[in-house]
Amino acid sequence: MLSSKEISLVFETLLSGPGMSEPVKANGSISRKNILLLANLVDLGSKAAGKEGSHIPGLADDQSLREVNQFIGSLIEKAGLTATCEKINAILSKQ
């Protein structure tokens, strides 16, 4: 199994390739269920970033994480799930 340092190096190499910073327009459709799932997975990954053994800090800078969170926020808004997400987050924060 690869060490955390080796995994970070592989991702750093992939993310620094030519054209990786260029915006991509992606058109498609995704169910509301999967938007909620994606939002929760991104949130869990963001929360895990500060924990020991997490590879996320070495994979993305703060700007990239902000962009991902903004994209997820726009998906939630377009799907009309803002209130639902707020209620789910309120329930999860009580645990």
CA distance 3 to 41: 23
What's the CA gap between 83 and 88, in Å, rounded? 9
At 56-70, the pLDDT tens digits run: 655 677 788 888 899
Q: What is the per-residue pLDDT across 66-85, written as a single tens digit (0 to 9) for each?
A: 888 999 999 999 999 999 99
Give the dihedral of Cα atoms 95, 84, 77, 30; nearest 10 deg.
Answer: 90
